[in-house]
């Protein structure tokens, strides 16, 4: 599967989480030179994105390579194969990428789901670092806390707060400095040089995870779950092609409202089931309601995947059919929800926004039929 598809999914999801009322779109072939000043949010998606100059707002970007060499006063949200931050970012940085290298300054928090993350010697992170990664090298200065998980973590920089990690292997070098507590979980205890940690060191031994022991089985199970949901999605497309397309189209109309509605409906389903279980007569109805709630939670991703697949092919400049949108959208969605630490949050957001879109579209459809005296 092309990495570009994965990148476009991340940027679309970041737009959903951080909607903007207005922004400038950098068209293909249009570049920023060091003298450029953009007094607005910037959205750009190309194979190679190099942002120089000044952006007086947020940056949302995707590409094979995204490099921030200029100054951004707001947030930076990126999905890319490789992300390099050499310049200055005034607020938060949120990244989904294969590789993240920070050589510059991040004014506030850094949130990342990446394969490899390197915070270089001369890098400055003003706030917290929250990351899930295969490998982390933390060499620079981090003003706040570090929270996350990784296969291998090497810490040689300065941390102004606490460090809390779930690791496969932790390496703390003599030149490191942690002003707060060091709390970590892993299969083996790390050698912590004297004087590095300002407060307490707490280690919790964790047996090697099943997915670490049986990596191949884990991948096979992941693929089986994807295929099972895909088969259901293709059946839905075959039986209700127009309804499925309409529901998918309603997802981006008001994402925050959709998330709120989806959350409330999910809670109402579970609470309603519990209340029905209290009475013997209501137990059958409670079981039906509980089953329907779980079923809707399960299939909601289908409509999000259908919509994302359409967006992905559109951004790639390729024509597609609904079944192609479903295949690609669900595959990329499964990848994203498998990311460490942030995957479950993405899963919840996707599910709730899709349930909200489903409810709004079905309500609209009901009102149309009622208005035509068909109900």
pLDDT of residue 211: 47
Lowest mean pLDDT of 177-191, 212-226, 257-271, 359-373, name the range: 212-226
Neighbour count for residue 285 (Cβ, 10 Å):
14
pLDDT in tens, 133-143: 888 999 999 99
Share of the chain above pLDDT 90, in %: 27
* pLDDT of amino acid 279: 73
Determine the Cα–Cα distance for residues 237 and 257; give it in Å rounded to an integer.
Answer: 25
Cα Dmax for the chain: 79
Q: Angle 90-95-100 (CA atoms, 0-180°, nearest 5)?
A: 95
279-297 pLDDT, tens digit per residue, is 767 778 888 888 888 888 8
Question: 10 Å Cβ neighbour count for 361?
Answer: 21
What's the rounded Cα separation, in Å, for the pair 326 and 340?
24
| Nearest-angstrom CA–CA distance, 339 and 350 | 14
Higher-pLDDT residue of 117 and 249 is: 117
Inter-CA distances, 291 with 259, 304, 359, Å: 21, 21, 17
């Amino acid at each position: 599967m092309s990495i570009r598809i994965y990148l476009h999914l991340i940027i679309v999801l970041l737009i959903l989480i951080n909607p903007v009322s207005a922004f400038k779109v950098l068209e293909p072939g249009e570049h920023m030179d060091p003298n450029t000043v953009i007094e607005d949010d910037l959205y750009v998606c190309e194979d190679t994105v190099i942002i120089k100059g000044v952006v007086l707002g947020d940056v949302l970007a995707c590409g094979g390579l995204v490099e921030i060499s200029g100054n951004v006063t707001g947030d930076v949200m990126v999905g890319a194969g490789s992300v390099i931050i050499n310049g200055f970012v005034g607020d938060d940085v949120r990244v989904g990428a294969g590789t993240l290298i920070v050589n510059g300054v991040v004014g506030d928090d850094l949130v990342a789901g990446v394969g490899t993350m390197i915070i270089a010697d001369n890098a400055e992170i003003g706030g917290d670092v929250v990351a899930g990664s295969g490998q982390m090298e933390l060499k620079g200065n981090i003003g706040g806390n570090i929270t996350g998980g990784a296969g291998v973590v090497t810490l040689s920089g300065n941390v102004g707060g606490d460090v809390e990690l779930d690791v496969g292997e932790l390496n703390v070098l003599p030149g490191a400095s942690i002003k707060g507590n060091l709390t970590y979980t892993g299969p083996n205890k790390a050698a912590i040089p004297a004087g590095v940690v300002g407060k307490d060191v707490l280690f919790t031994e964790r047996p090697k995870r099943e997915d670490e022991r049986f990596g191949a089985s884990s991948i096979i199970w992941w693929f089986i779950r994807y295929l099972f949901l895909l088969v259901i999605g293709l059946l839905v497309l075959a039986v209700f092609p127009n309804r499925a397309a309409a529901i998918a189209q309603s997802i981006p109309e008001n994402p925050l409202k959709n998330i709120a509605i989806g959350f409330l409906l999910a809670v109402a389903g579970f609470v309603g089931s519990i209340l029905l279980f209290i009475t013997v007569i209501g137990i059958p109805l409670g079981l039906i309601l509980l089953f329907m709630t779980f079923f809707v939670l399960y299939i909601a991703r289908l409509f999000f995947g259908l919509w994302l697949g359409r967006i992905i092919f559109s951004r790639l400049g390729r024509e597609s059919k609904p079944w192609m949108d479903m295949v690609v959208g669900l595959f990329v969605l499964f990848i994203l929800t498998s990311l460490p630490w942030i995957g479950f949050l993405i899963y919840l957001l996707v599910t709730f926004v899709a349930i909200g879109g489903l409810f709004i579209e079905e309500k609209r459809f009901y009102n149309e039929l009622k208005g035509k005296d068909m109900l």
